[in-house]
């Protein structure tokens, strides 16, 4: 292994004020899953995204789980989910005993293909998926690597067939689609503040919605579903999914630097594109007109037929030997052993992205020296 300093794929990047908020939580003894930072962080998120209501939670996964519970997803239901994603988009479907129906991506955004989605909806309704005619209970599109999915088309299908949307914007805080924030299109939107995301609270998530009762219900369910009574009284099964006031303090500090973090990530992408864009067989995901990506991760596609035989894996291993972390794109869920029996609609777009795609180091804290090292290493292999 090389002695060069480690370059991570995406590591936490604190701003000047996070620690002050945490110290304030200690000074005021608000060391609880509620308090002024929780309220403040929720307000910051509402103001930034334009969502009318927000609840911060213990993780993005918890937010997806609660969203599906709130929509009434139950055992035997079918939930349409983008196949090309992190497993956390799909796992909550299984928590509820429902069946995920995976949908392929399209090439312009790498996200849920509207045609394949409609095919999936029609097949569910015709009884071709489960053996009985079923209206799907929800649609889960994802804005992968910060690139917005085709929300006009997806929301039009949601409306046409009357199926609610849980929008997985875990990777897309700071991205916009036609000027509107990702996470504010669906009936509910999900954010994540895991350690590798564009901003982090070390672990955490949020649920956004314009529908007040949904967020009120999320808060109720996330706090063990306690009925209003002086004693502990429960008429629903609850969860312990709220965010700590200490971590919400980190979130408030991170919100102050979020616009800067988006610019830093976008500038990484521009740097890579300028330095590698001329290499034969290496391509980047362009930003379609009207879509604005936070470029959470900068990714390349490697076409071995045009690189002189060099593959994605060759590049990944060559970077690793120099202590540089890179990762293949998400392995589609319909190819995962745990979901091998799940229905799937579409072609081979997601599969080909997985075969040839590589995420390059993308942290907002990378220096120009770091970026140069990555670029030189990739170019060395190519020549
Ligand atoms: C990170 C992520 C999640 C889960 O968020 P956690 O906060 O880690 O639970 C869900 N979906 C996608 C697409 C993600 O990248």
Ligand 1 atom closest to the Cα of residue 88 is: 10
The sheet that has 282-284: what strands, in order across it?
282-284, 298-302, 357-360, 327-328
Band of the pLDDT at 286, cuts 50, 70, 90? very high
User: What is 18-256's CATH number, 2.40.50.700, 3.40.980.10, 3.40.640.10, 3.90.1150.10?
Assistant: 3.40.640.10
Where do the DSSP E strands lie in 250-337?
Answer: 282-284, 291-292, 298-302, 327-328
pLDDT at 3: 82
Cβ–Cβ contacts within 10 Å for residue 61, how many?
A: 23
- pLDDT mean over 292-296: 98
Residues in the chain: 383
pLDDT at 80 over 90: yes
Cβ–Cβ contacts within 10 Å for residue 149, how many?
A: 29
d(CA 354, CA 357) in angstroms, rounded, equals 6
Question: Is the separation of the CB atoms in 207 and 188 below 8 Å?
Answer: yes
Ligand 1 atom closest to the Cα of residue 142 is: 13
Q: Which CATH architecture has domain 258-381?
A: Alpha-Beta Complex (3.90)
pLDDT in tens, 351-375: 999 999 999 999 999 999 999 999 9
d(CA 104, CA 45) in angstroms, rounded, equals 30
Question: Is the separation of the CB atoms in 79 and 109 below 8 Å?
Answer: no
pLDDT at 1 over 90: no
The CA-CA-CA angle for residues 328, 272, 48, to 5°, reads: 85
pLDDT in tens, 3-55: 889 999 999 999 999 999 999 999 999 999 999 999 999 999 999 999 999 99
- Whether 197 is catalytic is yes
| Ligand 1: centre distance to CA 137 (Å) | 21
Question: Is the separation of the CB atoms in 224 and 10 below 8 Å?
Answer: no
Band of the pLDDT at 383, cuts 50, 70, 90? low
| Ligand 1: centre distance to CA 169 (Å) | 9
Q: Are strands 327-328 and 344-345 parallel, antiparallel or unpaired?
A: unpaired
Choose the residue to mutate in 168, 332, 359 for probing ligand 1, maximizing ligand atoms within 8 Å of C-beta: 168
What is the residue-averaged pLDDT of the chain? 97
Site residues for ligand 1, CB cut-off 6 Å: 59-61, 85-86, 88-89, 142, 168, 170-171, 192, 194, 205
pLDDT at 183 over 90: yes
Cβ–Cβ contacts within 10 Å for residue 307, how many?
A: 18
Backbone angles phi, psi at 206, to 5 degrees: -150, 155
pLDDT in tens, 324-345: 999 999 999 999 999 999 999 9
pLDDT at 165: 98
pLDDT at 2 over 80: no
d(CA 172, CA 151) in angstroms, rounded, equals 13
Find the catalytic residue in 160, 178, 197, 273: 197
Each domain of the chain, given as residue ranges in start order, spans 18-256, 258-381
d(CA 84, CA 140) in angstroms, rounded, equals 11
Question: Is the separation of the CB atoms in 371 and 274 below 8 Å?
Answer: no
- pLDDT mean over 248-277: 98
Question: Is the separation of the CB atoms in 116 and 110 below 8 Å?
Answer: no
Of 163, 152, 168, 379, residue with least CA distance to 278: 379
Ligand 1: which residue has its CA nearest to atom 5?
60
- pLDDT mean over 162-187: 98
Domain 18-256 matches domain 258-381 at the CATH topology level: no
pLDDT in tens, 298-319: 999 999 999 999 999 999 999 9
Q: What is the DSSP string of 240-260?
A: B-BPPHHHHHHHHHHHHHHHH
């Amino acid at each position: 292994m090389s002695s060069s300093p480690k370059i991570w794929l995406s590591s936490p990047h604190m701003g000047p004020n996070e620690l002050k908020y945490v110290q304030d939580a200690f000074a005021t003894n608000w060391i609880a899953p509620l308090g002024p930072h929780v309220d403040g962080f929720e307000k910051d998120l509402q103001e930034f995204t334009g969502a009318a209501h927000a609840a911060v939670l213990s993780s993005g996964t918890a937010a997806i789980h609660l969203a599906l519970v709130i929509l009434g997803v139950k055992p035997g239901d079918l939930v349409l989910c983008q196949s090309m994603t992190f497993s956390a988009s799909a796992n909550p479907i299984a928590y509820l005993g429902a069946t995920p129906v995976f949908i392929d991506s399209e090439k312009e955004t790498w996200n849920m293909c509207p045609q394949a989605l409609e095919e999936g909806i029609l097949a569910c309704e015709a009884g071709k998926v489960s053996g009985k005619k079923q209206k799907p209970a929800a649609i889960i599109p994802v804005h992968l690597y910060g690139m917005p999915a085709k929300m006009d088309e997806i929301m039009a299908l949601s409306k046409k067939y009357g199926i609610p949307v849980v929008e997985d914007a875990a990777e897309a805080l700071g991205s916009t689609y036609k000027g509107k924030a990702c996470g504010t299109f669906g009936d509910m939107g999900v954010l994540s503040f895991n350690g590798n995301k564009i901003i982090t609270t070390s672990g955490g998530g949020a649920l956004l919605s314009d529908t007040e009762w949904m967020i009120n219900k999320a808060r109720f369910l996330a706090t063990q579903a306690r009925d209003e009574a002086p004693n502990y009284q429960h008429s629903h099964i609850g969860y312990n999914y709220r965010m700590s006031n200490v971590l919400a303090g980190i979130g408030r500090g991170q919100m102050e630097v979020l616009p800067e973090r988006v610019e830093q990530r976008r500038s990484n992408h521009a740097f890579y594109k300028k330095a590698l864009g001329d290499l034969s067989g290496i391509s980047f995901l362009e930003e379609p007109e009207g879509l604005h990506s936070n470029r959470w991760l900068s990714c390349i596609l490697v076409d071995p037929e045009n690189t002189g035989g060099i593959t994605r894996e060759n590049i990944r291993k060559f970077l690793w030997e120099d202590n540089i972390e890179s990762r293949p794109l998400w392995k589609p869920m319909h190819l995962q052993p745990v979901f091998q029996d799940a229905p799937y609609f579409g072609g081979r777009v997601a599969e080909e992205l997985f075969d040839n795609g590589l995420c390059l180091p993308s942290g907002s804290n990378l220096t120009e020296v770091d970026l140069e090292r990555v670029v030189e290493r990739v170019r060395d292999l190519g020549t």
